[in-house]
Amino acid sequence: MFYSFLFGAVAFGLAAAAHRGSYQIYRFPATGPSSDYAFSLIQTNALGSTALGVLPHLHEVHYENFFNFRGRFQLWTDKYDDENLHTPILRCLVSFNRADVDLFYALSSGDYTASTFTPYDPSANASSVGLSAGLIATLEGFDVYSQSTYSPRRDAVNGTAPANTTGCLHPYFVAKDYGPNYLNSQSEYQVIQPLVTGTQSANNFTPSTITMERVSSNATVPTRQFPGHAAFEVLEGSLQVEMLGEKVSLLQGDVVFIPGNTTYNYYSEVAYTKFLHVGQGAEGLDSVLIQGVESWDSPV
């Protein structure tokens, strides 16, 4: 069962509730109701397969973004020569979807638990498509529309497609560390890599990665507060977050949800920490960190 909350929350690693969808396992560290429908953070794990995880489809209203945390997956978005896109799907991890919980309950074949905390079921049958065409056809109420005549794009150059993504509302891909980097040295050194800007998401959300060094012993850690909700997911290292009188230490895979107008600070106590930041609206932590700073030619 999912609960609606608007207070700070932490999901440690694989501790978030898990649900089975064919051979894929879904976890929800931050749901739409949890964030007052600002965004959803959905983690998907699966064993290797040559079958599609889901048949081609589009969303007419919601944005969807994918971020590869570990391993490898293949993702296709609209045809390279299609000038009439039906939906503003961007670089697809975050599903900006009001009905996310209801949708995945509709698709789920049951809850998933493992005594050894494995991220997916290694004995699952991965030879069939995740969702049938008949089932997808029943999901239009969840803003999921089947596209049976879809043809994938094949125009990626140097890890990016299309070549120019500035200010666009078109699907695009960015290979790891091939996007723009910005160096903020106002406190400790931080490298910010915006994945989707407010311009590209119609000011709905801004996912970025933030890489930082160890906080020095005599440093004053800045206090932050933003009107929009946010979530951090640790990719590498260890992140310390203090809010509402509590301090939590986050390791790889841990997620913290920070409600809007909550005062907090964050820092690293190890030499290298990198986390994914997702913020509601166009003016969040990542947007503030890149204001008035220099471009950087390295992801660290």
The predicted structure's pLDDT at residue 142: 74
Averaged pLDDT score across all residues of the chain: 75
Query: Do 219 and 278 share a structural domain?
Result: yes
- CA distances (Å), 279 to each of 210, 230, 268, in order? 12, 4, 20
**Contacts for 233 with CB less than 8 Å, ≥ 6 apart:** 29, 41, 69, 253, 254, 255, 275, 276, 278
> What's the confidence (pLDDT) of residue 2?
29
Question: Same domain, yes or no, for 38 and 136?
Answer: yes
pLDDT in tens, 143-158: 777 777 776 656 656 5
What does the pLDDT look like over 154-174, one tens digit per residue?
665 655 555 555 445 567 778
Domain assignment of residue 252, yes or no: yes
What confidence tier does 246 reach under pLDDT thresholds 50, 70, 90?
A: very high
Examine the domain organization and report whether 136 and 23 are in the same domain: yes
Same domain, 121 and 191: no
Domain assignment present for residue 156? The answer is no
CATH of the domain at 79: 2.60.120.10
Rounded distance between C-alpha atoms, residue 233 and residue 108, angstroms? 24
Last residue in a domain, options 95, 129, 146 = 146
User: What does the pLDDT average to over 179-202?
Assistant: 90
89 and 23 housed in the same domain: yes
Same domain, 81 and 128: yes
Domain containing residue 266: 181-296
Q: Are 300 and 292 in contact (CB under 8 A)?
A: no
Q: Pick left, alpha or beta for residue 217 (phi over 0 → left; psi -120 to 50 → alpha; otherwise beta).
A: alpha
Residue ending a domain, among 146, 170, 194, is 146
The predicted-structure confidence for 1-37, as pLDDT tens digits, reads as follows: 223 334 445 555 555 566 565 667 778 888 888 787 8
Q: Is the pLDDT of residue 205 over 80?
A: yes
The answer to whether residue 135 is domain-embedded is: yes
Instruction: Pick the more confident residue, 250 or 107.
Output: 250
Q: Is residue 2 part of a domain?
A: no
Residue carrying the six token digits 């494995």: 118
The one-letter code for the residue type at 278 is V
24 Cβ contact partners less than 8 Å away, ≥ 6 residues apart: 44, 45, 46, 53, 120, 130
Can you tell me whether residue 214 is helix, strand or coil? Answer: strand
- Between 4-18, 23-37, 186-200, 215-229, the lowest mean confidence (pLDDT) is in 4-18
pLDDT value at residue 214:
96
Cα dihedral 105/106/109/114 (nearest 10): -20
* Statement to judge: residues 222 and 279 lie in one domain: yes
pLDDT digits (tens, 9 = 90+) for 84-142: 333 333 333 333 334 445 555 555 555 666 665 666 665 666 565 556 666 666 777 77
Looking at residue 174, its pLDDT comes to: 81
Please check whether residue 161 lies inside any domain of the structure: no
Decide the pairing of beta strands 190-194 and 205-212.
Answer: antiparallel
| DSSP strand pairing (264-268 vs 239-243) | antiparallel
Residue 12: inside a domain: no
Distance of CA 101 to the CA centre of its chain: 16
pLDDT of residue 81: 45
Of all residues in the chain, the percent with pLDDT exceeding 70 is 63
**Has residue 130 been placed in a domain?**
yes
- Clarify whether residues 123 and 195 are in a common domain: no
* Phi, psi values for residue 106, rounded to 5°: -65, -35
Q: Are residues 26 and 81 in the same domain?
A: yes
Please indicate, yes or no, whether residues 134 and 188 belong to a single structural domain of this protein: no
* Beta carbons within 10 angstroms of residue 103's beta carbon: 19
> What is the residue whose two structure tokens read 């959300």?
205
Residue 252 burial (CB count, 10 A): 17
Same domain (yes/no): 25, 137: yes
Do 114 and 189 fall within a single domain?
A: no
Supply the pLDDT for residue 86: 34
Residue 271 has pLDDT above 80, yes or no: yes
Domain limit, last residue, from 120, 146, 172: 146
283 within 8 A of 204, measured Cβ to Cβ: no
Cα end-to-end distance, the chain, whole Å: 40
In a domain, 171, yes or no: no
Domain tally, the chain: 2
H or E stretch covering 212: strand 205-212
Residue 239 has pLDDT above 90, yes or no: yes
